[in-house]
Structure 1
Amino acid sequence: MGKSVVNAGHDDADVIVVGAGPAGSSAAYHCASAGLDVLLLDKASFPRDKICGDGLTPRAVKELVAMGVPLRESDGWIRNKGLRVVGGGHRLELPWPELSSYPSYGLARTRMSLDHALVEHARAAGAKLLERTNVTGPVLDERTGRVVGVTARPVDDDGRRSGDEITYRAPVVIAADGVSARLATGLGLAKRDDRPMGVAVRTYFRTPRDQDPWMESHLELWDGAPGRSNLMPGYGWIFSLGDGTANVGLGSVSSTAAATKVDYKDLFGKWMANAPAEWEFTPDNQIGPVRGAALPMGFNRGPLYGRGLMLAGDSAGMVSPFNGEGIAYGLQAGRFAADAVVQAASRGSAAGRERALGTYATRMKDDLGGYYTLGRYFVKIIEHPQIMRLCTRYGLPRPLLMRFTLKLLSDCYEPRGGDVVDRVISGLTKIVPAA
C-alpha cells in the first residue's frame, strides 16, 4: 500500500488528501500521526472563510479531543451548555445530555479560525500542505482504471491559474473537496436526487450577547410579529462566538435535491427585521454580507470507497438531515478513512489492501446509515412550515418528547445502553434500512 508496495519509487506520498476542511485535515492528521507520508492539497490559502453556522455539537467536540486539538478559551473557543429552542410561543433551554460517549458541552468558533487551526494541527503531525493548489481531476491507471493520483495546477489568491498543471501520485486518494466533489464527478459519481438537500445563509453581527452560553435555535421564522404575520419556511440560529460577535443564519431543507426557488437572503432580511431586540442585530452592527451555501445530506453521493478513491465530508453528502451539522461527520469520516488507509498499508497483497480500504464505507454506513434514513423521514415531515408550527406548538411543552428530540437532532445518544430515550433512538436506527 505504501511506497514500498505499490508503484515503488514513483509515488509522491502514501496518501493524497484533497481539501483541507475538517474532513481533510482530520484524515491528514490521523494518517500522518500513524507515520504515513501525507500530501494535503487545497485551492485556497489559510486562513480562509467558509459558509457555516460555526457551532459544534458534543459529537464534534469528541472528534477534536480524539485529535488532541487544544480547546482552550484563549485559543478562540467558546463553550456552550446546550440548545435554547424558540418556537410555538415557547422558549426552552435544553442542556446537552450527560453521556459516557460524548462530552456534555458544545463549542463555537468561526470556520476561518477553526479550519486554520485544524490544518496547522495536521501539518504539525507531519502532513505536507500545499496551498493554492487547485485539483483538476483524478489520475487513473490505464490498465485497471484505479485512481492513482490527481492532476492539479497552482493558482493565485484569486483562484486564477498561476502555473503549469502538475501530477501527484499516491496509492489512495481521499476526496474531501466539498460540495463541488470534483474528483467524484470526474469519475461519474453523480449525486442522488432522492437524498435531502439543504441551503443555509449566514452573516455576523456585533452583539452585547456574544458570551451567551446557549446555542439558540428558532424553529419558526415570521416576516412580522410572531403569530400575527406569515410563517416563512426554514429555521434560524444564533451562535455566540465570545469575541464580540455572533453567527446568525437560517437554513431550509428539502427532501429531494430539487432546486429551491426561495430567496433566502430576502428571507433573512425579514427575519432580522423582527429579531429579538436584546441581540442588537441592526444594519450598523452587521459584519460582512449575507452569504449562502448548499448542504448535501444523508450520503447523497457514493460509493464512499471504490477504485482507490475515498469520499469524505460534503463530497459524500455527510451533512445530517436533522440539524445541518457537517463538521462532526467530516471529522469522523477523516478518522475512519485514515484507519482504513493505515491498515491497508500493512497488508501484503492487493486483495488484502482492498479489503482494508473497503472497511471505511462499511464503518460509516454501519454508524450513520440508519440515523440518516431517520433523518430523511424527519425532513419529509418538517419541510412544510405548517407542520413545523404544529410540532413546535404542541411538542415543545412536553419534557420527555423534547429530551428525545434533542438527542435525536444532535445525534448525541448512547449507542449501547443508556436510558429509555437512548435505547429507543438506537433501536430505530437499527430497524430502518441504512442510507
Structure 2
Amino acid sequence: MSISFSKSGLGKTAILAAVKVVLCKICGDKSSGVHYGVITCEGCKGFFRRSQSAIVNYHCTRGQTCTIDRVNRNKCQFCRLKKCLELGMSRDSVKFGRLQKKQREKQQQVRSVVEGNQPSSLCAPGYEGYSPGASPTVSSSVHENVFSVDYAVKSEYVAEAAVAPINYSLKQEPIYEHPQQAAVPSQETTYLSVHQEMLSQDEVFAAQIKAEFESAHAASIWLKNNSHPLNEEFESSFRNMDRVGCWNLFATEMSKMIESMCRFVKFFEEFNQLDEKTRISVLKDNVFEMCLVTASLFYDAKTQSISLSGQNFHVSLFATAQPNVLAFIRMVHSCLHNLAQFQLSAVEVALFSAWILLQGTASASYLVQRLKGCLHRQFYYKMVHPEEALQRLLELLQTFRLLARQHKQLLSQFFESEPDAKLQPLYMEVFKS
C-alpha cells in the first residue's frame, strides 16, 4: 500500500452507478453503494448498523480467522464485524449520520467572525509562544532489570523530559462543569457572545476530532476492548522468533497504525490543502511520534502490557541481547509509562496527535493554536494544575523525536546486516531512507 490522500470528485449518482459492477468489500456480494464509509452490500450494511444499535458481545470459536464471503458471512459475527472495522466502516456514521458538513460550515462562519475581531485572545492562556527546549541526549550503556517501571523511569536511557515523576491530581467535580462567567461591560456583549459561541464550537470540534480518530482506529480499539492474554503456544513461538521475524511483526503493527493515521488526518482541511508531496513529507516526519502517543491508549501501566491485534504482550517479552535495541525498547516503555500518568482520553490523544502532525506547518498555525486550546480545555476540566500538565506533555515530544531518530538508525543497521529482509511495504515506504 502506498500513501495516498487523493479524494474522488464523483457525485452521489456517479458513485451509485459505478458500484453496480463493484463487489462488497466485506463479503464479495453485489454492492449497493457506499455505506458507513465502505462499499458494501445491503446485507453487510444492515449487519453493521445492527451491531452498533445495541450492546453486542460476539465470540469466535475458530481463532478469529474465519473467512467472510457471501456463503459464510452469517456463520461468525465476530469475524464479520472485525472485518467491517478493519476495512474502515465507521461507528460514528451510524450514530451521527451526515451532519458533519453542516457543523463544519458553522465552524467556518464563527471562525471568520472571530478572526476578524480578536483572534489572539482565543489561544490557550500561556501557550501562545510555546517553544520546546533542546533535544536531550541518551547514554549508550546497558544494565539489567530492563523492564522494571521504577528502573525505566530512573534509567539514564530516559531523556530529561521523561525522567521527572508525574503525578497530576484530577479534579473531583464533574468534568463538564464550566466556571462561572464574570460580568462584562455592555459594549462587549457582542464579542462575548461570539467568544462563547467559539467555545461551544471548539467543544463540537473536539468531539468531531474524537469521532474521526476513533473511526480511523476502530478495529484496533475494538480488538483492544476484546483482548486476551497470549496463549502458551504463541508466547513460546514469539520468544523463539528470530531477528527478522521480530522486525516483521513490529513493521506489521506499525503499518496498521500508519494506515489508521492516514485516514485520521484526512479530516483536517489545512492538511488536505497541502500538495501531495508536502502531505507525504509531513506525515513521514511525524507519524512515528503520533503512533507512540496513540500506543498509550493500548498500554496498561498496572500490568505493564500492551495490546497488539487483540493480544496482551507483557513488556518483558520484548527482551533482546542487542544493547542498542534494548536501550530503544527501554525508552519506548518509559515514554508509554509516563504518558499513562496523564490518563489521556481518546479525545486528548486525538488532539495531541493532530497537534504533533501540524505544529510545523505554517499554513496551519491557526489550527495548531486551536488544537492546543482544545487540549488545554480538556486538561482544565480534569486537572488541578492544567497549565503545568499540558506543558509537561508538550515537553515529552522532544523524547518522542529522539526515539523517532533512533528508530530510523536501528532500521538502517538492521538492513546492513540483513540486506535481503522483506518487511511490510508501507512501513518501508515511510521509514526506510
Q: TM-score, normalised by structure 1?
A: 0.23
Q: Compare CA radii of gyration and give the structure with the larger one.
A: 2
Greater strand share, structure number: 1
